[in-house]
């Protein structure tokens, strides 16, 4: 346990040093070569633009975050429900899982225009597009997790005449929880990507539009520092989502699963 703080500081310090070196090199290249801002702005100018345009960018940030959170919630709920149904019925899994694969491998850029045309509400259409991208990892991971329970324990439950509900609640779902959380971490970033791509395709504008619209708008007006500022917010949002889901996974698994326990805790 004594080495835990050192490992934590190393995880924070090492990427921070790399990030500072990268930003410093980026700023030096821009200044030494006198690169104009409309081609490549330096990180200091991007940070200044982020502060100046925060009023507009923050509204768009909340719009994109709302779509991402809703899509992730729907993907998690439906993915878990379908995975449970697949675990209870092999016929149902063989019948529906191929369609989930088709939905996953179909490029969202290709079907987003159709969804936007068919659905009159822009928010719902963006939500559907983001959900399509985020849905499959949760479904596939949870399905594998439900089928990865120890067969000896399954036989023990049968020996004690446990009901199907008791087996699901007390054995299958706990066994699948690490798989579900792993899929959730993957889908968090994918939901954000789906929301951004859908906003690009929809081309929504106005004050109540997401960060993708701000990026398009800045590109049309050659306001490249604002474009970079919006990209920084997108990347930052993705990092925050990943860290939040990683923390959730750690809190739920740290007392009993090897993936979240330290070496000393396993002894």
Q: What is the pLDDT of residues 157-179, one digit of tens each?
A: 988 888 888 999 999 999 999 99
| Angstrom distance (rounded) from CA 1 to CA 154 | 35
Number of domains in the chain: 1
- The answer to whether position 56 is within a domain reads no
The pLDDT value given to residue 1: 47
- On average, the pLDDT of the chain sits at 88
Mean pLDDT of all residues in 220-244: 93
Largest Cα separation within the chain, whole Å, is: 77
- The answer to whether position 39 is within a domain reads no
- The answer to whether position 144 is within a domain reads yes
Q: Which of 144, 147, 154, 237 is nearest to 182 (CA)?
A: 144
Its pTM stands at 0.87
The pLDDT value given to residue 27: 93
pLDDT at position 207 over 50: no
- The answer to whether position 145 is within a domain reads yes
| Owning domain of residue 258 | 61-266
- The answer to whether position 215 is within a domain reads yes
- The answer to whether position 1 is within a domain reads no
- The answer to whether position 2 is within a domain reads no
- The answer to whether position 17 is within a domain reads no
Give Cα separations from 117 to 3, 122, 124, 128 (angstroms): 56, 9, 12, 12
Q: At what angle do helices 122-146 and 54-88 cross, to 10 degrees?
A: 40
For residue 115, what is the domain's CATH number? 1.10.3720.10
* 26-47 confidence digits (pLDDT tens): 999 999 999 999 899 999 999 9
Supply φ then ψ for residue 42, to 5 degrees.
-80, 165
């Amino acid at each position: 346990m004594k080495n835990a703080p050192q490992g934590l500081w190393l995880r924070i310090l090492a990427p921070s040093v790399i990030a500072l070196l990268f930003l410093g090199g980026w700023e030096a290249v821009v200044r030494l070569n006198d690169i104009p801002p409309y081609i490549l702005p330096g990180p200091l100018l991007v940070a200044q633009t982020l502060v100046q345009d925060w009023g507009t960018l923050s509204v768009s940030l909340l719009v994109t975050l709302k779509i991402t959170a809703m899509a992730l919630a729907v993907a998690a709920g439906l993915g878990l429900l379908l995975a449970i149904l697949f675990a209870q019925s092999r016929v149902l899994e063989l019948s529906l899982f191929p369609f989930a694969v088709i939905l996953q491998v179909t490029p969202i850029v290709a079907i987003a225009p159709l969804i936007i045309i068919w659905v009159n509400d822009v928010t719902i259409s963006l939500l559907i597009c983001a959900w399509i991208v985020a849905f499959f990892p949760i479904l596939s991971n949870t399905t594998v997790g439900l089928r990865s329970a120890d067969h000896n324990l399954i036989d023990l439950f049968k020996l004690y005449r446990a009901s199907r509900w008791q087996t699901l609640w007390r054995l299958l779902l706990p066994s699948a929880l690490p798989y579900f959380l792993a899929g959730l971490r993957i889908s968090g970033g994918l939901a954000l990507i789906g929301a951004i791509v859908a906003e690009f395709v929809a081309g929504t504008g106005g004050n109540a539009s997401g960060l993708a619209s701000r990026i398009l708008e800045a590109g049309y007006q050659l306001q490249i520092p604002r474009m970079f500022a919006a990209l920084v917010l997108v990347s930052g949002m993705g990092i925050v989502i990943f860290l939040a889901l990683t923390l959730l996974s750690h809190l739920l698994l740290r007392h009993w699963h090897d993936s979240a326990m330290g070496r000393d805790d396993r002894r």
